[in-house]
Structure 1
Amino acid sequence: MNSESYIRSIARSLAVLRVVNRAGSMSMMEIANAVGIPYPTACRIVYTLQEEGMLERESSRKHYRPTALVTSLSHGFQDHSNIVTLSRRHLEGLTEKHHWPVSLTTRVGQNMIVRDCTHALSPMALTNYRAGAAFPLVECASGHVMLAFADDQQRHRWLDAAENCDKGPDPLVLKTLRSDDFAESIRTLGYALRGANQFTDTPGRTSSMAVPIYLDGEVRAALTLVFFSVAMKPEVAVERYGADLKAAAAAISAALARQDGKRAARASKADVERPNLGVA
């Protein structure tokens, strides 16, 4: 991303809207700390979002919460993949067999968003994450899968955007993620590992392994298994769960391809059957 085209005020406003929407209700100081912006800046952004009807102040305390108008931002979004429905039985199967929580995530901006997960079904889950939880693209295993399997130009655009964020990653981390060795290693192994995750609600206590889910030769999502950091070494987790995790991701990819093929066939049939209303 060209730094000249990056509008920081918009990025900050969206970040405020995201953190408040995720938390449900926050004080002004909590908002400023969560986004990593000065308190006066947070005030200006929150008051602007209030004027636009996106946030409202609670009557009983100085906390701010999203309004119903926030839902209007998603009205134009169409998810044709039905990926959650196609993936659910595979997520449940992995958790039933191995007990650890498994999540399905897709990239949205600088985050990997949980589309579905089995934390509520797992006896080994430390946190009951739900659909909508967000994890930093540059820090989580699923994000590393997306970065590694994207083409080089796309990967660098995403990392440029991350660098321009107020709470951007460490320059050394960015340097590693930009390297060809980083991408080649994950592509060769077919998975990404992250030990002692720091971005979770229980920092350092869990590690994760993620594999890619494809459609039309492109990575569209990631399947991630989470395990206790102290329970086993990452290489042991790969040996125990890697094959099953890859098999589940391959099955989901195949189901997506079949669905996409059926959709294309229906569209083609509709085109053939559509009457020609042109003037001869």
Structure 2
Amino acid sequence: MKGVPIQSFSRAISALKAINRHGSMTMMEISRAAGVPYPTAHRIVQTLMYEGLVEQEPARKRYRPTALVQSLSSGYQQDGMLVEIARPEIVALTKKVGWPVSIAIRVGKNMMLRDSTHANTSLTFSQYYPGFTLPLLDSASGKLSMAYADDDEREQILKWMRADQDIDPDYLAEAEMALNPEGIRAKGYAVQGRNYFNHTPGKTSSIAVPIFNKGRFEAAMTLVYFVSAMSLNKALETYLPEMLATAQNITAGLARHKPDANLSAA
């Protein structure tokens, strides 16, 4: 893969993802989020409106996703059981340690939250809901996912990122060298000293541990805590054993689950 095959299509997807993530955006906000000039953003939004995926809010120059966006995921059921099994486990963990816990899977060049307990605790700066995305190389969950990816898969992801004109090549080279997949797999966890790609940049740190399904990496379970509350070493000492035990419970639950025969035959 030498580059992004259809740049306009990639930009349209970026715009739709941004609108869906924020719920309501102005044209200028869409332009910045998609990294395109204002006239291009206008053409993209007009196309999305024509296809019924986006609509303009009444009496306001803001644009929001329509219910038709949900149809794009109608055939995707892979992580439904993951969320069902993980939910009671992460709620119990948050009740025990106080900090919010999330489950994330890799989607393209990002990690996407599938569930979190931010609404179950006061020890959080912001709420994060399913669909929120984080960059692969600047999040504990993303580093974990990259570490457990097959070598060929990891290299393909990095090729996509190198072809992305919005990603600084010097930053990417530095982040790639710092990744250390072997070290992460040996330790069984990944960390992010400060989270900069969230609603409160620099104010939280994260620890992520793996969840497996039939021996393969399935998702990352991440605990987020205030940087001001404790050092990373103290957080690892205090919370890592509970996190690993919870992740093992989820892994065991996935192992016990038998796929629906009707879905398997589809």
Q: Superposed, which structure 2 residues align to 1:221-232 within 5 Å? A: 221-232=219-230
1:188-220 residue CA offsets vs partner (Å, 9 max, x unmatched): 111111012110100000010001111122111
2:31 aligned partner: 32
Counting aligned pairs with the same residue, the percent is 45
TM-score, normalization: structure 2? 0.92
2: distance between equivalents of 1:180 and 1:22? 29
Larger-gyration structure (1/2): 1
CA distance 1:180–1:233, change in 2 (3 Å): closer
2:240 aligned partner: 242
- Are 1:126 and 2:131 counterparts? no
- Are 1:14 and 2:28 counterparts? no
Q: What is the identity, as a one-letter code, of the residue corresponding to 1:49?
A: L
SS at match of 1:138: helix
CA distance 1:166–1:64, change in 2 (3 Å): farther
Q: What is the identity, as a one-letter code, of the residue corresponding to 1:119?
A: H
- Are 1:58 and 2:62 counterparts? no
Which of 208, 233, 255 is 2:253 aligned to? 255
2: distance between equivalents of 1:166 and 1:57? 29
Q: Superposed, which structure 2 residues align to 1:185-196 within 5 Å? A: 185-196=183-194
1:75 aligned partner: 74
2:90 aligned partner: 91
Alpha-carbon contact 2:56-2:63 (below 8 Å) kept: yes
1:32-73 residue CA offsets vs partner (Å, 9 max, x unmatched): 112222212211211111222211222311111112221221
Gap runs ≥5 in structure 2: none
Which of 181, 184, 187 is 2:182 aligned to? 184
Measure how far apart 1:165 and its partner are.
2.8
2: distance between equivalents of 1:180 and 1:235? 19
CA distance 1:249–1:172, change in 2 (3 Å): farther
Alpha-carbon contact 1:114-1:134 (below 8 Å) kept: yes
2: distance between equivalents of 1:2 and 1:220? 28
Measure how far apart 1:163 and its partner are.
2.6
2: distance between equivalents of 1:174 and 1:73? 31
1: distance between equivalents of 2:79 and 2:93? 25
Q: What is the identity, as a one-letter code, of the residue corresponding to 2:2?
A: N
CA distance 1:181–1:26, change in 2 (3 Å): closer
1:2 aligned partner: 2
Q: What is the identity, as a one-letter code, of the residue corresponding to 1:23?
A: H
Alpha-carbon contact 1:148-1:187 (below 8 Å) kept: yes
More divergent stretch after superposition (62-71 vs 177-186): 177-186
Measure how far apart 1:93 and its partner are.
1.7
SS at match of 2:119: coil
CA distance 1:89–1:162, change in 2 (3 Å): same
Q: What is the identity, as a one-letter code, of the residue corresponding to 2:64?
A: R
1:142 aligned partner: 141
TM-score, normalization: structure 1? 0.88
